[in-house]
Structure 1
Amino acid sequence: MTFVLGLTGSIGMGKSTTSQMFADLGIPVWDADAVVHKLYAPDGPAPKALEARFPGTIRPDGHVDRDALRALIAKDSTVLDQINAIVHPMVARNRAEFLKVAQGVVVLDVPLLFETGLDEQCDKVAVVTVDAETQKRRVLERGTMTEQDLENILSRQMPDAEKQERADFIIVTDTLEHAKAQVQAILREIQKDLPDA
């Protein structure tokens, strides 16, 4: 029997670190961001498909020209939907392949789990959270985005409070030790109800 645990959380909440904690305990993790990254790699299927639909959006080295895509999206708001229509089925196929061979407890690590309705494919959902001040500090310490960038991302995501309301488990990532203890407790709870645990 397979038990699918959805793992989600807004940017800067510690989801990637928490996801790694599950992996370190031997739990297979399907990471949506990593899959998308692979699909967009020069040898992945996304660049060819995007070039066929939007000529001139792939650089000579095979990488997607994100500036060219952004310019297209700025000109035509339907372009983003067209890109999603190309890439989302590829992601869904990869996830289906992962679940087909999955055994026991597995984790689907998906930033927009609720927003995309993927929570319906999960037996339970865990939401990773921390206070807003810590979240902001973590994101800005990365040095890759401004406060405005963070605001823009958060405006497209379901509010943290709503995610927590919809979650079966909440993992507070104020410290590594606290997060790890919560991950272990969740696994114990799930595994005690599994018939072959």
Structure 2
Amino acid sequence: MSGYVIGLTGGIASGKSALGREFESLGVTVVDADVVAREVVAPGPVLSRIAERFGQHLLQPDGTLDRRALRELVFADEELRLALEAITHPAIRERLRAQCDAAPGPYAIAAIPLLTEAGGRRVYPWLDRVLVVDAPVSLQRERLMARDGIDAALADRMIAAQARREQRLALADDVVVNDGNPAHLQARARELAAQYLALSQAG
């Protein structure tokens, strides 16, 4: 049971997943909020509430959620998006925390891409530290264009839709600058893993 949790966050295409994999290679449990979000909308109570609120037509013949149809619906209407978040976010946070608490080892990492946008420590008061992966906006743009096959204008809109870099950094206890050097990322993960081990054992 881990009694110490680090929140890992960063802007789109900043390298959160790459850093998370480095921690996993060191034997640290990383619980991904995006994976938990998909688990939460599997057939069950949360999906039933979504279908009641947004319509049964969002259920596929096998009873699972038509994620694409729901995404198109809520991203066209801010009010609907907020209504969806009111249903899903509490369940995501609860499951995320339960999985972190149940993780083997003295500490776990909760990878939460939209930690800043969701309300930071006010909404996640159980995080002991926040680790931000930071990358220059020009590098984020470059990675996004290569990763998603999009143009610079769309990449800029996607970056602008998230919290500003300064807002994320204001939340950080620790920062890893991901300049695209894998050796640097690996070295920082090892340093931080040792630091978090010491902090978790000191508590």
Work out the CA distance in 2 between the residues paired with 1:7 and 1:72: 26
Amino acid at match of 1:9: G
State, as a whole percentage, how many aligned pairs show the same letter.
26
Q: 1:179 aligns with which of 171, 182, 185?
A: 185
**TM-score when normalising by structure 2:** 0.82
Judged with a 3 Å threshold, the aligned counterparts in structure 2 of structure 1 residues 145 and 33 are, in CA distance, closer, same or farther, namely farther
State yes or no: 1:54 paired with 2:54.
Answer: yes
Judged with a 3 Å threshold, the aligned counterparts in structure 2 of structure 1 residues 150 and 168 are, in CA distance, closer, same or farther, namely same
**TM-score when normalising by structure 1:** 0.84
Q: Deviations over 1:147-188 (max 9, x none)?
A: 344333323322113322331111122211101111111122
Work out the CA distance in 1 between the residues paired with 2:171 and 2:87: 29
Work out the CA distance in 1 between the residues paired with 2:127 and 2:167: 18
Partner of 2:89: 88
Mark the runs of 5 or more structure 2 residues left unpaired by the alignment.
none
Partner of 2:138: 133
Q: CA deviation at 1:15?
A: 0.4
RMSD: 2.5
Mark the runs of 5 or more structure 1 residues left unpaired by the alignment.
none
User: Which moves more between the two structures, 142-151 or 118-127?
Assistant: 142-151
The count of residues paired between Structure 1 and Structure 2 equals 195
Q: CA deviation at 1:110?
A: 0.3
Alignment of 1:97-136 (within 5 A): 97-102=98-103, 103-119=105-121, 120-136=125-141
User: Which moves more between the two structures, 44-53 or 155-164?
Assistant: 44-53
Judged with a 3 Å threshold, the aligned counterparts in structure 2 of structure 1 residues 98 and 157 are, in CA distance, closer, same or farther, namely same
Work out the CA distance in 2 between the residues paired with 1:112 and 1:33: 10
